[in-house]
Structure 1
Amino acid sequence: MLRRHRRAARLTLEQLAEASGVSARTLSDMERGRSKGPQHRTVTALADALRLAGAEREQLIELAREGRLRDHWARPTGLCELPRPVDDFTGRSAELAWAAEVMRAGEAGPGLITGSAGLGKSTLAIRAAHTLRPDFPDGVFFLDLFGMSAEPLPSDEALGMLLRALGLTDQQLPGGVGERASLYRSLLRERRVLVVLDNAASEEQVRPLLPGGGTARALVTGRRLLAGLEGVRRLSLGPLPPMEATQLLTGILKDRGTPDADPALWDLAQLCGGLPLALRIAGNRLASRPGWNAADFAARLTDEERRLDQLSAGDLKIATAFGLSYDQLAEDTRRVFRRLSLVPGRDFDAALSSVAGGTSIAGAWDALDELVDLGLLQDGASGRYRFHDLVLLFARERLRAEEPAADRDAVVDAVTSWLLRMATSAGSWFEPIHSHRDPELTGLSTQEEADRWLRANVDNWLGALRQAADRGGHAAVLLLGMSMIRFADRWMHAGHWPDVFTLGAKAAAALGDLPRQAAHLNALAADQLVSGGDMEAALRYTAQAMDLAVRGGSSEEIASAHHFAAGALRRLGRLDEAIEAQSRAAEIFKADGDVEAYSHCLGSLGTCYRDAGQYPQALEHYLALWDLVNDDASGLLPNAAAFTRSIALARIGECLGLLGRRSEAIARLTEAIVLLEEAQVLAVMAGALQTLASLLAEEGRAGESRQTYARAAEVFEAIGDSDASDRCRDLAS
């Protein structure tokens, strides 16, 4: 009938296609009887283009409707049917909203959900597809592409299954992938269909299965990132947050006779790392064993060596899920993956990966890319990588199973040695003389790079330090501790310095090195002062340091003991003793030519006089310090001068404020805060902001004062002083 009307109108297929907006291929299929039930909007568009009216129009539309009904009842059932959704699906509201938005968008490309094993990608896609079913009246199809198996589903077979699900018989299927893909796209163009392609292996497998446009949509899941796919909307799935993970466990266990305590389920969720598969296994094990309780099962899972074994229920095994990804790796990458489990910290970069994996930097990058692509590693900011907790346990299990103990020990030795050398070399950038710089190491060419490396890798070099101490590596431990003493001034509020300097002191004692033992005890005293800790403990450290320094003949450590003792005495309110001790320290440092230490004493003396209410004497010492750090001939290193200059200017501003010279104080403090931020001296910066805010309020500059208090609150919070932060936030509001 369509052909008859077209010929009566003296139109070619191409002319009718142009007039109606329906493709010539679709028209040809209709006229040849391959498409007997075209969509209503397609037929009305053709009737309009052919200018049909009355009975002729109604007859054409009715024939198409009857064809659609025949199509519906003739289509094979059970092909590519969507699996049932899980009843206790929990959370993922943002992800479901993303899927709905992408699938309903007018011109959206495919949606791609990626992530590591056990994150529930398939479950999420199935849930989304069931929710979206009313939006796709022409069908919702599901196809497992077996991407993690040894033989993923070939594209031609996948197309055959989808075409059969769309109503074609085997006789109607073309032979090649290209022909099948073309037919598939033409059938989908005029249909409102959703195709879920689960567990994709590669871009090459998926591309022929994607709709070519029109109203059909595709939602793809896979462990691989499929970075080569063009025009896709991507969602990287992560673990469930703790609250949602606990809710999932609660839902799985809702039919148990005896409810489990919420804290026990919370602990269990934490031990499962928020992985839905692990949570499902844990929940199923508890649900199938009414005599168990969550607290006892959580206690079992605390044993890291047995946790993966415990996370199995019937045919569900978390280790099996990880193993499918592991089996996809090249052997060199498997070795890197296994050995990265020996890294002592929480994350690592390519340089450390190359040391652990025994490969080049380029080889490490390739391995890391492959591991991220398969979801076995998580990549973060600044080129750093980390394991999910359960994947880390899997890597350790593979390491024990596949590499002998001697090889594992050699990797630990190599990683520990490299980390200690790198940390020691980085710390030496902050010493007056870079005596501990290791010329064989690369990657640290400036003080800023050394600072960044030490902060980013703190968990790793701390772990290496503890391992070396346990193994009796006293020389390396002592060397690292010495290189950190000056750097600790830049990272004052880090909580790890007591460990570093205690281990250093023990190493020095084991080696009989009295001056260096004294240096570490003085560093421990300094940490008590910076953290506002136990001042009596600080005095005990300095007393021990003084004794060792006198016996070891180290005037530097004698002076340091006086200096830090003075700080503790000042905090205890023993100001006369503090001024006497600090003056003695200043004399020794000046006589020894240690200008940097002398500058510290000048500043500390100013603070002692300030606390004693002797503001003119305090200002005198701060100004002397200011002159020293601005004297190019003083001998201070530029970095040390810049660091101290910011503190000196802040103290001058504070002192001017105490002397009632508010306008001068505001100007100095405003300038100092800029310098303090550049030098990242946050503790002093927070106090300077608080003082400036108070002075601005006294000057009647309320708006500026509120803004400054708010900024002070942020900096106090950054250094972990929540009380001061709350105080400033209250004043700001």
Structure 2
Amino acid sequence: MVNPMTGVEACQGPAPGSVRRRGAPMSYGWRNSAHLCSRRGSVREGTETLGKEGLRFSVLGPLRCWRGDTELLLGSPRQRAVLAVLLLRRRRPVTAGELIDAVWGDEPPATAGAVLHTYISQLRRSLETRQGDSPDGRVIVSSPHGYALQGLHAGSLDLDDFEQRVVEADDLAARGEPARARDVLRTALAMGEGTPLAGIRGPFAEAERARLGELRMSVTEKCLELELECGRHREIVPELAALTAAHPLRERLRGLLMVALYRCDRQAESLAVYADIRQVLDEQLGVEPGPSLQELHRHVLRNDPLLAQPAVETGVPAQPVVPAQLPADLADFTGRTAEVTRLEATLRAAGRGTAVPVTVVTGMGGAGKTTLAVHAAHRVRDAFPDGQLYVDLRGVENDPVNPADVLAGFLRGLGSADAHVPPGLPERAAHYRSVLSGRRVLVVLDNAHDAEQVIPLLPGSAGCAVLVTSRSRLGTLHASDRVPVQSLDAETAAGLVSRVVGRDRVEAEQQAVRRLVALCGGLPLAVRIVAARLAVRPEWSIAETAGHLEDEQHRLAELRIEGLGVEATFWLGYRQLAEEQARAFRLLALPAPATLGLAEAAAVLDRPADEVERVVESLVDAGMLESPARGSYRYHDLVRLFARARAEDQESTAERDGALTRLLDLLLATTRNAYRLIRPGQTVPDHVRPTAAPGPAFTTEQQAYGWGAQHLTAALQVVEQTAAIDPGTAADLVLVLDPVLHAEFRWNDLVPVARTVLEHARRTGDRQAERRLGYMLGGALMQIEQLGAARELIDRALLLCADGTDEVTYAMTLNVLAILESRAGHGDRALEVYNLAMTAARTAGDEAVEALALGNVVQIRLDRGDADPALLHQAERQLAIYERLRDEHGTVMAHYRLGQVYRRLGRPADALAVHQQSLTALGPSGSPLMQAGSLVRSAEALLDMGAASLAAQYVRRGLALTRRLRWSRLEALAIRVHGDALAQLGDSAAAAAEWHRSIGLFEKLGAASAAEQGRRRLEAMAEQPPRRQAS
């Protein structure tokens, strides 16, 4: 029956035909909310005395939980579905079978029981403040009857509060206080944010979502009926119009709109509403409107005075309010001085121009964007006396907040009554800008999803300012400033630990603290979590805690406390990725190098470079990947661990191995191309395995060498990582890295990698890989003076070369054997082996290897003190070969030998000239090995020419390079030459000290003849009369 006061039939109203006269008591049968709770207060029965103060849940929007002011992470959608069942069963036990049916429906997976147990365990860890078997120590308890929630304090569930307010409104309406009843219902309706249980799937969630949605709509209708009773028909027409458009089949809403329009003297429009629903019902359902709506239609047609507005004056104008919605600042906020200063300057600039300053703070999850924004906002509160608005837009969750809902909340916070909040987004945005006009308000939009979510929330008044935080870069948002938030540096991170844990503990274990923050990658969330764990565990040592973090498999699991975890933060971002992005995120984390270029990323993903660039740049924009330079990409260390774990979970072994071997293939192709330019006469590149990728082409030797030097570490990492997958290709990559390894003197880095690959080559019976690795590893050990181990490997490699299938490797291995013979003092034997090497090189058609052996022959003869003029011919022959081959590196080596020969033959000026020629050719970015050698040899020539001061400068530069390279043999020579320079300068004591140092190094290296030269210098000095040091 139609309620004459509102014109709409109540759910349990008077019998048909009875019409209440104006002013008669109203009978809202449905207001007796028996469907909400059987008796008033029963929804909270028995909960007030239980513990867990501060734990609050929300189901009227997305399922969320807080302890105090801290929101807890509740896990995956299905895990949250389990919690939803337990919450809405109101402490009644739920069996495992019922939970499985509620979450998965009729077709649960075979592992549903085990998964359910995992969900319960994870929820307990998130919700409970302590572990233990005592029932009062748990939120989720188990019994023979199933699982249940206990210990929730009064008001812990928003649905309870919602229902209690509906009951309260019933009482107020029954006492004749419609305005107060309406206000209570508006408060209840403001509690929900979005769709109930948003993002949760399963039959139970779907049913509850429908129930709660219907409950909310019924309460909305009740509230609007009260608005009519209060005479606010004009104010609610826009809201009713929007609601009827959204729910075209709800007759009660149509009736309320008809009454509201009628009371606004809009009878024709009221009748049109009826005509519209009649048509809709007929077309969609084939039925007529219900009896109550038909009766209301008749009342409107005849201008029934019973529909006239009630003589009730209600509502008090909303008082102006100054919102102060900022979350609390952190007392232990640490660092970020530059960022805070920058934000303050931008925000305080509000009002100086015509545009609203909009500042965007971006960074990966856990970087501390919110903490920084809130801290900066508090520092500038004085500049915004009209208030500060704050909202968490939940941009990385499955259901980001609708900007229309945000505007409704902001408008209420600014003093607008609910009835004055327009229904649609454009209308709300316009009203919001009007309310803010002329006011100085700071708006903090935290955790934005994209620019589309933010733009409607921007004020129009230049006196306001906006501070946005987002993992996304929000490139389409017009921002006054963008402040990227990076990880904390080691000192700042340690300072944060000190403020949380206490200075005394940190000072007692400073080294452990440095290791701790390094393992956290300086990520503020990780540092804060581990510091909080230490703070509540004073018996834990920092070193012990850092030790637990050393294990990469469990590091992320260690970085969590009371439902807050680094891994959960990463999950939020990961779930936002499209499948193409997610695959790239997983696979690009597999290679060991810290940074990948675009070409390497394309190889890993097996996609064209332009397509890959689009995908990886979108990951950068989403804050899941970093880009230190254009075309260069890297992960934060903790994000890499997370991404690798996802790859382990979601990618097959074949796919993971394929990603790595494609990268190995690209590196082999590229390094092979570089080898051809660095050593153009050598045929090694022609004898490595063919590659699927052509690799980039280089145009100059300097370009090729520069690429090799820059990528050497990464190449060695990939070699070691793929050793077990493809030892043959890995061995070939080691082989073609030889020129760069030699130029950079990185033999110490090669040794462990080559040993790993060699082990796998032997295990798989790959003889070619074994002999090539034997040559490379043997040569590396020889360079770092491990001569015995080098000899064993070289002998084994030569044995494997006996089949005659790899003449180039054979020739190069003989060259190393000759050096070993020479170092052992077997000069004659060394010369014989060099002759064999030159013969093998000629057989292989490799002139460059022949020239290399020829140069080593010259070196042996020089080391033996030979001053035969024929040496000049051999040195010039080596130089001629390299020049003919246009081998710039070989030419520098030949000049090095030729300069030594000139000096031996008493031609120091010629020696100096060729060494200077080498230094000019090398330039500042050339091989540091050859630079060091040329500098030291130039110093020797300068000493012969009496230029001791200049010689000292040269040798000191060379000495610095040798120490950086860790080349002991050249370092010993440089020290001795430095002593020679000091002696010429008259500083005998310093010269003697240097000679003593060189003798010690040469003896350690087993270089007896070189050590003897130093002793002869000391003896000669002892025989000379003392002389004063030059001034």
Whether TM exceeds 0.5 here: the answer is yes
**What CA distance in whole angstroms lies between the structure 2 residues aligned with 1:558 and 1:300?**
48
Q: 1:103: Cα distance to partner?
A: 3.2
Partner residue in 1 for 2:934: 688
Q: 1:138: Cα distance to partner?
A: 4.7
Partner residue in 1 for 2:331: 87
Q: Is 1:260–1:293's contact at 8 Å kept on the other side of the alignment? A: no
TM-score by length of 1: 0.75
1:644 is aligned with what amino acid? Answer: G
Partner residue in 1 for 2:214: none
Question: Which of 633, 652, 664 lines up with 2:898 in the alignment?
Answer: 652
Partner residue in 2 for 1:70: none
**What CA distance in whole angstroms lies between the structure 2 residues aligned with 1:299 and 1:140?**
44
Partner residue in 2 for 1:36: none
Unmatched segments (≥5 aa) in structure 2: 1-317, 676-681, 983-1031
1:318-467 paired onto structure 2 within 5 Å: 318-354=566-602, 356-357=604-605, 361-381=609-629, 383-401=631-649, 403=650, 407-429=651-673, 430=675, 432=683, 434-436=686-688, 438=690, 440-446=692-698, 462=716, 465-466=719-720
Larger fraction in helix: 1
Question: Which of 213, 225, 229 lines up with 2:473 in the alignment?
Answer: 225
Q: 1:685: Cα distance to partner?
A: 1.5
2:347 matches 1:103? yes
- Greater shift, 84-93 or 694-703, is seen at 694-703
Partner residue in 2 for 1:604: 856
Q: 2:554 aligns to what SS in structure 1?
A: helix
Q: 1:676: Cα distance to partner?
A: 2.3
Partner residue in 2 for 1:119: 367
**What CA distance in whole angstroms lies between the structure 1 residues aligned with 2:545 and 2:414?**
48
Shift in alpha-carbon separation, 1:583–1:311, aligned structure 2, 3 A:
same
2:502 matches 1:254? yes
Partner residue in 1 for 2:916: 670
Q: 1:630 aligns to what SS in structure 2?
A: helix
Q: Is 2:367–2:524's contact at 8 Å kept on the other side of the alignment? A: yes
2:790 matches 1:538? yes
Q: 1:234: Cα distance to partner?
A: 1.8
Q: Is 1:515–1:552's contact at 8 Å kept on the other side of the alignment? A: no
Shift in alpha-carbon separation, 1:556–1:203, aligned structure 2, 3 A:
closer
Q: 1:434 aligns to what SS in structure 2?
A: helix
2:883 is aligned with what amino acid? Answer: N
- Greater shift, 537-546 or 507-516, is seen at 507-516
**What CA distance in whole angstroms lies between the structure 2 residues aligned with 1:506 and 1:311?**
36
Partner residue in 2 for 1:23: none
Q: Is 1:689–1:708's contact at 8 Å kept on the other side of the alignment? A: yes
1:519-598 paired onto structure 2 within 5 Å: 519-530=772-783, 532-550=784-802, 559-571=811-823, 575=827, 577-590=829-842, 593-598=845-850
Q: Is 1:145–1:198's contact at 8 Å kept on the other side of the alignment? A: yes
**What CA distance in whole angstroms lies between the structure 2 residues aligned with 1:721 and 1:244?**
37
Q: Is 2:743–2:930's contact at 8 Å kept on the other side of the alignment? A: no
**What CA distance in whole angstroms lies between the structure 1 residues aligned with 2:964 and 2:534?**
42
Please give the per-residue CA displacement for 1:326-365, whole angstroms capped at 9, x wherever unaligned: 1211123223323334334433344554555565545533
**What CA distance in whole angstroms lies between the structure 2 residues aligned with 1:76 and 1:259?**
48
1:199-214 paired onto structure 2 within 5 Å: 199-210=447-458, 214=462
2:876 matches 1:623? yes
Unmatched segments (≥5 aa) in structure 1: 1-72
Q: Is 1:194–1:217's contact at 8 Å kept on the other side of the alignment? A: yes
Q: Is 1:502–1:521's contact at 8 Å kept on the other side of the alignment? A: no
Q: 1:660: Cα distance to partner?
A: 5.9
Q: 1:408: Cα distance to partner?
A: 1.8
Please give the per-residue CA displacement for 1:540-577, whole angstroms capped at 9, x wherever unaligned: 43344444445769765564444223323444565555
1:470 is aligned with what amino acid? Answer: A
**What CA distance in whole angstroms lies between the structure 1 residues aligned with 2:360 and 2:412?**
24
Please give the per-residue CA displacement for 1:579-607, whole angstroms capped at 9, x wherever unaligned: 45435533553566431111112222232
**What CA distance in whole angstroms lies between the structure 2 residues aligned with 1:304 and 1:613?**
56
**What CA distance in whole angstroms lies between the structure 2 residues aligned with 1:701 and 1:186?**
83
Q: Is 1:625–1:648's contact at 8 Å kept on the other side of the alignment? A: yes
Shift in alpha-carbon separation, 1:513–1:437, aligned structure 2, 3 A:
closer
Q: Is 2:447–2:469's contact at 8 Å kept on the other side of the alignment? A: yes
Q: 1:705: Cα distance to partner?
A: 7.5
**What CA distance in whole angstroms lies between the structure 2 residues aligned with 1:721 and 1:183?**
74
Shift in alpha-carbon separation, 1:697–1:114, aligned structure 2, 3 A:
farther
Partner residue in 1 for 2:988: none
**What CA distance in whole angstroms lies between the structure 1 residues aligned with 2:552 and 2:691?**
40
Q: Is 2:959–2:971's contact at 8 Å kept on the other side of the alignment? A: yes
**What CA distance in whole angstroms lies between the structure 1 residues aligned with 2:715 and 2:809?**
26
Shift in alpha-carbon separation, 1:167–1:645, aligned structure 2, 3 A:
same
Q: Is 1:352–1:415's contact at 8 Å kept on the other side of the alignment? A: no
Shift in alpha-carbon separation, 1:467–1:216, aligned structure 2, 3 A:
closer
Q: 1:419: Cα distance to partner?
A: 3.1
Shift in alpha-carbon separation, 1:517–1:336, aligned structure 2, 3 A:
closer
**What CA distance in whole angstroms lies between the structure 2 residues aligned with 1:327 and 1:516?**
43
Q: 1:305 aligns to what SS in structure 2?
A: coil
Q: Is 1:240–1:276's contact at 8 Å kept on the other side of the alignment? A: yes
Q: 1:127: Cα distance to partner?
A: 1.5
Partner residue in 2 for 1:273: 521
Shift in alpha-carbon separation, 1:503–1:130, aligned structure 2, 3 A:
closer
Q: 1:126 aligns to what SS in structure 2?
A: helix
**What CA distance in whole angstroms lies between the structure 2 residues aligned with 1:512 and 1:418?**
23
Q: Is 1:482–1:516's contact at 8 Å kept on the other side of the alignment? A: no
Q: 1:521: Cα distance to partner?
A: 2.4
**What CA distance in whole angstroms lies between the structure 2 residues aligned with 1:81 and 1:388?**
33
**What CA distance in whole angstroms lies between the structure 1 residues aligned with 2:394 and 2:667?**
46
Shift in alpha-carbon separation, 1:690–1:209, aligned structure 2, 3 A:
farther
Q: 1:111 aligns to what SS in structure 2?
A: strand
Q: 1:586 aligns to what SS in structure 2?
A: helix
Q: 1:142 aligns to what SS in structure 2?
A: strand
1:595 is aligned with what amino acid? Answer: E
Q: Is 2:498–2:506's contact at 8 Å kept on the other side of the alignment? A: no
Shift in alpha-carbon separation, 1:656–1:221, aligned structure 2, 3 A:
farther
Q: 1:267 aligns to what SS in structure 2?
A: helix
Q: 1:222: Cα distance to partner?
A: 0.8
Q: Is 2:363–2:369's contact at 8 Å kept on the other side of the alignment? A: yes
- Greater shift, 197-206 or 103-112, is seen at 103-112
**What CA distance in whole angstroms lies between the structure 2 residues aligned with 1:500 and 1:259?**
38
